[in-house]
A = this chain, B = another copy of it.
Amino acid sequence: MKKQTYAVIGSGALGGLYGAMLARAGHDVHFLLHRDYGHVSTQGLTIESIWGDFHLPNVLAHPSADTIPPVDVTIVALKTTQNHLLVDLLPPPTREGGVVFVLQNGLDVEQQSVEVVGKERVFGGCCFLCSNKIGPGHIRHIDFGKIVFGQYGEISDVMTDKGKRICAELNAAEVDAQFADDLAVVRWRKLMWNIPFNGLSVVLNASTKSLMDNVEACQLSDAIIREVHAAAAACGVEVPDAAIEITLENTRKMKPYDSSMRLDYLNKRPMEVEAILGNPLRVAQTFGHEMPRVEMLYQQLKYLDACNANL
């Protein structure tokens, strides 16, 4: 079977890593680049990874989506704060019927992709990944890395086959990927980490390690995780109870890492507050379910985001 072709919209710490691994495995991978275009089009991509370092000298780099040809799979790896751009960025690579694979944190982040290609052509996925872009075209992947993804719309045989094929290609490219039956479970489970640890790392100016080393911060993290878990259940999404303890345990074992939201905050970039906290709060509210701690964290982050924007 012919290898599928890919496009990566947003070639940063996440899109750059996975796209480079697919390219190394022999796929045509078209990268949309912004600031790094000049560097990557001439010097390629450099990956330092716990899965093995490599350099990709020749990269199909694009400074604009308009030059990207139609591909089988378009990976969306922008920050969700950029999702309003997708209405212009997705049509070129998806115009001959390719699917969109939204690899972003948060809930209902597929919405803008659905508006372009329809929900029957959209996968969503979460990455459990510690990776940073440390220079132009230079990515350092320091821990974890697993992708879990699933169908955003109604489950269909065509999309199930397609998802399994993407998963097999990722695995063949040495990416730890898993195709899941229920995207909602995947997303809420990831929110159980992202909401407390992205949020508190910003509000308390803390690494995950310093949060886990403090009694009260640890109790608060636990309470927020339980609040998210209960909200998922109220929305009809059954995340196994064991995920609560696993989330804490994984965080305790994690290498010291600045969460993506903390890096955005420290670099005065917009934070993904709406995707990661606002959308889950609003979805839970439609089910009549309140999350007082998550709401408080949302309000605190909105305040800090506004302070950054006003500087």
Residues of A within 8 A of B (CB): 200, 203-204, 206, 210-211, 214-217, 219-220, 223, 292-293, 295-300, 302-304, 306-307
**CA–CA, A206 and B299, complex, Å:** 14
Q: Which residue of B lies closest to A221 (CB)?
A: B299
Asked if A210 meets B300 with Cβ closer than 8 Å, knowing A203-B203, A292-B293, A293-B293, the reply is no
Q: Is there contact, CB below 8 Å, between B299 and A219?
A: yes
Query: Closest approach, in angstroms, between the C-beta of A259 and any C-beta of chain B?
Result: 16
Q: Which residues of B contact A214 (CB under 8 A)?
A: 302-303, 306
**A interface SS class:** helix
Most chain B C-beta atoms within 10 Å of own C-beta, residue among A223, A302, A303? A303
Tell me which of B204, B219, B292, B302 contacts A292 (CB under 8 A). Answer: B292
Q: Is there contact, CB below 8 Å, between A217 and B293?
A: no
Q: Which residues of B contact A220 (CB under 8 A)?
A: 296, 299-300, 303
Q: Which residues of B contact A303 (CB under 8 A)?
A: 204, 206, 211, 214, 216-217, 220
Q: Which residues of B contact A293 (CB under 8 A)?
A: 292-293, 296
Q: Which residues of B contact A211 (CB under 8 A)?
A: 303
Q: Is there contact, CB below 8 Å, between A203 and B300?
A: yes
Q: Which residues of B contact A204 (CB under 8 A)?
A: 203, 300, 303-304
Q: Is there contact, CB below 8 Å, between A302 and B216?
A: yes
Q: Which residues of B contact A219 (CB under 8 A)?
A: 299
Enumerate 23 A-B pairs (CB-CB under 8 Å) in ascending A order.
A203-B203, A203-B204, A204-B303, A206-B303, A206-B307, A210-B307, A211-B303, A214-B302, A214-B306, A215-B302, A216-B302, A216-B303, A216-B306, A217-B299, A217-B300, A219-B299, A220-B296, A223-B296, A292-B292, A292-B293, A292-B296, A293-B296, A296-B296
